[in-house]
Structure 1
Amino acid sequence: MGNTESVSVQKRLARFRPEERPVVEGVFDKLQGGGAPSGAPGKTPAGNTLTLEMLQSSMGSVAPESMVRRVYQCMCSIDPGLAAPPAAGRSSSSAASGVGREQLVIFLADTLRGTAEERAPLVRAMAQRGAGPVTVVPCEQVAEFLEDLISTVVQIVVHRGRLQAWKPERMGDGSLGVKLLAEHICSELKPSDQGCDDSCLEDWIFRTPQVSLYLEMLVSEGLDVSLSGRPAPTLLPPCRDTPWKDLRCLLDLPSLMFLAPQLPDSYNAPWRLVFSTQLHGESFSRMVTGLTKCGPTLLLIRDTKGHIFGGFASHAWELRPKFQGDSRCFLFTVFPRLRVYTATGYNEHFMYLNQNQQTMPNGLGMGGQHGYFGLWLDSDFGRGHSRARPRCTTYGSPQLSEEEDFSLDSVEVWAVGKPPEPQEGEEGQGKRSILDMDPEAQAMMEMTGKTLHSQGLREPEEDQEQ
């Protein structure tokens, strides 16, 4: 670019490593080479600007046309003499004249290495409809921009083969998932009465890292900017041994992109389907078999009214008449909105699983209390409830289902962590008394003064025989 480049461009190039700077500076020439041939309409003879057609040629395979136009509009709005796109915007003639080298470098630097303050005016420029002097954009326009951005990210994941063995064609409606994820992220906006200005967008970008992550993917993948310091992010967890031929997953790609980052950082094992009503039938016992001994799990439920919700269990489930788990557990909804509800600290009623008892509730519960769970599946499979008036005490969640008492349509259980290590002595469980497997029955017998005759008549453990 020589010595004529502006101070703002020089400062932005300094953000990149020495070996990365030629890559950034070379994007302009690469885009021109991928555009219309010399002398064709849309390419200036001098080759000093980029046209919309050139940008479309590079980004068209991974981004919808509406997103390409947003990027082009944003690039054209940048004044190389200023730190960011001016609040009043540039005239529409800027778009007609094309994008210059310095405008492109500033755009690349601010999207790939910029701060929330620097990215805010870029988002404003991409979100606004049409060119012209704009300082505030309505929330609806930000939501439309975000839908385009998320659609692009999903398309990149599919186009680049980063599905991690997930099958979009055997999953939920991705277009609906895009809208739900955009709505969730936009719910973090704190606009003024007039709408979203740069300070509002800066605060939003700072608090919602997905916006910056998706912007970086849009630019690095769409414009083919490969930087050694930023490997491509992994948005989907690996999926293993899933019988896709017989399964229609309750999740879609955007909802999976939403849920996966909610898990604790250490839970990065491949997801494994351990129960599905589509595959295993409507059996509580079969579900319990899938839940136990497989480590942390994600429970997904769809009721007969179409609501999709569930819970994350941080520990392996155990059949016992008392609460278990820890504060890493959470409840969530997928439809009609994407939300996560984490532990409030009010109590420790995180997980509950019981079966075949006469004096304690039989079923699976998360949050709340007996008879008033935030999420409950009855052992009489097919029924459940979500009671929260106004909120679940354990997770702060509202009613998850359409109706307080709901009927099941589908259930899935995904193992999402490493299975627990076998505990010492588990191999000898076959010799244990039935009372050991049923602590409630043992406690009831002791309370009524019954003598536990079998205590002294057991076969010795193998380690005691030696």
Structure 2
Amino acid sequence: MGNTESVVVQKRLTRFRPEERPVIEGVFDRLQGGAGGPSGAPGKTPAGKTLTLEMLQSSMGSLAPDSMVRRIYQCMCRIDPGMAAPAASGKTSTPTASGVGREQLVIFLADTMRGTAEERAPLVLAMSQHGAGAAAVVTCEQVAEFLQDLISAVVQILVHRGRLQAWKPEKMGDGSLGVKLLAEQMCSELKPSDQGACDVSCLEDWIFRVSQVSLYLEMLVAEGLNVSLSSRLAPTLLPPCRETPWKELRCLLDLPVLMFLAPQLPDSYNAPWRLVFSTQLHGESFTRVVTGLTNCGPTLLLIKDTKGHVFGGFASHAWEVKPQFQGDSRCFLFTVFPRLRVYTATGYNQHFMYLNHSQQTMPNGLGMGGQHGYFGLWLDSEFGRGHSRARPKCTTYGSPQLSGEEDFTLDSMEVWAVGKPPEPEEGEEGQGKRSVLHMDPEVQAIMEMTGKTLHSQGFREPEEDQE
């Protein structure tokens, strides 16, 4: 190394613990040694020279789209070890001609895994560009394309590394659509110039505010290049899933949407997600919805209307059937399709949650936000009909119209319990609300033999020793 480059690299290495520095410095030689293919046979390139695109593909190919691998390679090639950042326009050679030097790789690893928003912004700029030439700005569309590749890689890592937390992608929604929705949502936080361009300062501000950019990038680099550091814990991007009958279910969620929604919940809501109602499994009955909602703690509601819009709400409290509003400011509404967005409490009023049934004087149904007859989200007790009214915004959550039409027809619905169920009241000892099916298994067997449908079976709380 030259003196200038050596100082830059040594400063980067100080970000890592002493026992981690040999790992970082050893990545270059390991990538060259593994370029011969899956068997790990040495490649044709002599050690100590440069890393080629093929060497990077050999390491990352199973965990990231080829387009993402090429973006990373292109970015590494543009790093000027003297400047410790991707070179400006006109100061870089064609990536395929030069390859990646040891110093470039160390700087890239340090900035993606331990860098600041200021240091990561030039890398994102370089990875968002097309072709060999370097540019000072990129468009929002180019950033969105980069994000789609990055999110796709993260999803592949979750699948290949067995970190799905019992979710079943093959039984869930279209993951490729979810990737586009999440990329668009993250891009919506960009603040480009009046001409729609994003320079380094724009990207720096964005990376600072949107933490997923750094999280996903670090995860891809660490997993794709197999950089195992003692201080790094693999992030848990998905909540645990329990007691879900996947054989009979086609879930409205997909992995990228789940990656977006789960972090929106309050920090204390870290219990496994449990499906407590689904029109696909339990039919179209408001009584069944109420049975699924009550006594299971905080919930996430998902609704798809006949126009294809997918939306819902998070209820921070266990639902109660009563003619008053309930809940608190941790509740929110959200949309999944055609836009992935979350709408939180405005403080204007406290009309967070409403659930009423079989009353003559008050509206019967489920509502979130707004007011009677003008809810941000309403599902009528005459199951199948609802509305989302906002002219221009819901007063409680500041949300626009969530559904395809103001008065919508329901296509399907799911309710997920996402928090710890409430403790039984004193004196109940967990037994007070059990049905006869819990108390006498013989009754259950007789009912099954006579062809009776056990409607309550899907809503019972699990035993303590069950997963």
Q: Same fold (TM over 0.5)?
A: yes
Give how far 1:252 is off.
Answer: 0.6
> Residue 21 of structure 1 corresponds to which residue in structure 2?
21
> Residue 182 of structure 2 corresponds to which residue in structure 1?
181
1:380-399 Cα offsets, whole Å, 9 max, x none, are 10100000100000000000
Q: Does 1:7 align with 2:10?
A: no
What does 1:203-218 correspond to in 2, within 5 Å? 203-218=205-220
Secondary structure at 1:302's aligned position in 2? strand
Q: Is the 8 A contact 2:424 2:430 kept in 1?
A: no
1:183-228 Cα offsets, whole Å, 9 max, x none, are 0000011111151100000001001000000000110000000111
Q: Is the 8 A contact 2:32 2:45 kept in 1?
A: no
> Residue 291 of structure 1 corresponds to which residue in structure 2?
293
State how far apart, in whole Å, the 2-side matches of 1:116 and 1:316 are: 40
C-alpha RMSD of the superposition: 2.0
> Residue 108 of structure 1 corresponds to which residue in structure 2?
109
Give how far 1:358 is off.
Answer: 0.3
State how far apart, in whole Å, the 1-side matches of 2:90 and 2:249 are: 50
State how far apart, in whole Å, the 2-side matches of 1:428 and 1:175 are: 43
1:328-377 Cα offsets, whole Å, 9 max, x none, are 00000011110000000000000000000000000000000000000000
Q: Is the 8 A contact 1:42 1:53 kept in 2?
A: no
Give how far 1:110 is off.
Answer: 0.2
Dislocated runs of 4+, deviation >6 Å: 1-4, 427-430
Q: Is the 8 A contact 1:77 1:89 kept in 2?
A: no
1:133-163 Cα offsets, whole Å, 9 max, x none, are 3101111111111100000000110011100
State how far apart, in whole Å, the 2-side matches of 1:226 and 1:66 are: 24
Secondary structure at 1:272's aligned position in 2? strand
Give how far 1:86 is off.
Answer: 2.4
Secondary structure at 1:92's aligned position in 2? coil
Give how far 1:88 is off.
Answer: 2.1
What does 1:235-384 correspond to in 2, within 5 Å? 235-384=237-386
* TM-score calculated relative to the size of structure 2: 0.89
State how far apart, in whole Å, the 2-side matches of 1:55 and 1:32 are: 9
> Residue 166 of structure 2 corresponds to which residue in structure 1?
165
Amino acid at match of 1:360: M
1:219-270 Cα offsets, whole Å, 9 max, x none, are 0000000111111000000000100000000011100001000000110100
Secondary structure at 1:259's aligned position in 2? helix
Secondary structure at 2:382's aligned position in 1? coil
Give how far 1:94 is off.
Answer: 4.4
Q: Is the 8 A contact 1:274 1:415 kept in 2?
A: yes
Q: How many residues align?
A: 429
Q: Is the 8 A contact 2:5 2:82 kept in 1?
A: no
Amino acid at match of 1:265: D
Give how far 1:124 is off.
Answer: 0.6
1:257-292 Cα offsets, whole Å, 9 max, x none, are 010000001101000000000000001011101100
Give how far 1:131 is off.
Answer: 1.5
State how far apart, in whole Å, the 2-side matches of 1:311 and 1:42 are: 54
Secondary structure at 1:273's aligned position in 2? strand
Amino acid at match of 2:97: A
Secondary structure at 1:286's aligned position in 2? helix
Give how far 1:2 is off.
Answer: 11
State how far apart, in whole Å, the 2-side matches of 1:115 and 1:214 are: 14
Give how far 1:36 is off.
Answer: 3.2
Q: Rate the CA distance shift 1:185–1:349 in 2: closer, same or farther, 3 A.
A: same
Give how far 1:7 is off.
Answer: 1.1
Q: Is the 8 A contact 1:308 1:401 kept in 2?
A: yes
Secondary structure at 2:269's aligned position in 1? coil
What does 1:70-149 correspond to in 2, within 5 Å? 70-88=71-89, 90-149=91-150
Q: Is the 8 A contact 1:111 1:216 kept in 2?
A: yes
Q: Rate the CA distance shift 1:47–1:331 in 2: closer, same or farther, 3 A.
A: same
> Residue 434 of structure 1 corresponds to which residue in structure 2?
none
Amino acid at match of 1:31: L
State how far apart, in whole Å, the 1-side matches of 2:399 and 2:59 are: 44
State how far apart, in whole Å, the 1-side matches of 2:199 and 2:31 are: 31
Which runs of 5 or more residues in structure 1 are unaligned? 431-466
Amino acid at match of 1:355: H
> Residue 444 of structure 2 corresponds to which residue in structure 1?
none
Which runs of 5 or more residues in structure 2 are unaligned? 433-467
Q: Rate the CA distance shift 1:428–1:174 in 2: closer, same or farther, 3 A.
A: closer
Give how far 1:428 is off.
Answer: 12
Deviates more, 1:417-426 or 1:315-324: 417-426
Amino acid at match of 1:157: L
Deviates more, 1:194-203 or 1:175-184: 194-203
Secondary structure at 2:151's aligned position in 1? helix
State how far apart, in whole Å, the 1-side matches of 2:342 and 2:412 are: 20
Give how far 1:31 is off.
Answer: 0.4
> Residue 32 of structure 2 corresponds to which residue in structure 1?
32
> Residue 203 of structure 2 corresponds to which residue in structure 1?
201
Secondary structure at 2:241's aligned position in 1? coil
Amino acid at match of 1:320: K
State how far apart, in whole Å, the 2-side matches of 1:41 and 1:369 are: 69
* TM-score calculated relative to the size of structure 1: 0.89
